[in-house]
Amino acid sequence: MTRPQHADSEEPQDTHFVLLPTTDWARPRAYRVGGPDLNLMDGTLVDPPASPFQFELRADSEARDPAGWPLLDLYDEGHGRLLVSPGLVLALQEIGVDNVQLFSCETTCALTRARVEYHVANIVGLIKAVDLAKSTCDVDENGAVETVYRFRFDCPRISTFDIFRMWEARSIIVVSRRVKETLQVRGSTGMRFLRDVEWEPGLI
Distances in Å between the Cα of 195 and the Cα atoms of 19, 100, 145, 192 are 9, 22, 20, 10
Domain count, the chain: 2
Asked if residue 8 has pLDDT above 90, the reply is no
Domain-located, residue 7: no
38 shares its domain with 115? yes
Residue where a domain terminates, one of 101, 123, 145: 123
Domain boundary among 102, 123, 144: 123
Range(s) of the domain holding residue 186: 16-20+127-198
Residue 5 domain-assigned (yes or no): no
pLDDT grade for 90, boundaries at 50, 70 and 90: very high
Residue 2 DSSP class: B
pLDDT attached to residue 65: 66
Q: Are residues 30 and 118 in the same domain?
A: yes
Do residues 72 and 131 share a domain?
Answer: no
Checking if the pLDDT of 40 tops 70, the result is: yes
CB of 189 closer than 8 Å to CB of 19: no
Pair type for strands 53-58 and 100-109: parallel
Model confidence at 89: pLDDT above 80 = yes
CA distances from 72 to 9, 10, 49, 100 (A): 36, 35, 25, 19
Other C-beta atoms closer than 10 Å to the C-beta of 200 total: 12
Write out pLDDT tens, residues 61-82. 776 665 667 899 999 999 999 9
Instruction: Examine the pLDDT at 10 and tell me if it is beyond 80.
Output: no
Kindly indicate the confidence band of residue 20, based on its pLDDT and cuts at 50, 70 and 90.
Answer: very high
Express each pLDDT in 96-151 by its tens digit: 999 999 999 999 998 888 999 999 999 999 999 999 999 999 988 887 888 999 99
Instruction: Find out whether 26 and 66 touch, Cβ atoms under 8 Å.
Output: yes
| 3-state SS, residue 89 | helix
Residue 203 lies in a domain: no
Question: What is the rounded average pLDDT for all residues in the chain?
Answer: 89
- Considering the entire predicted model, what is its pTM? 0.88
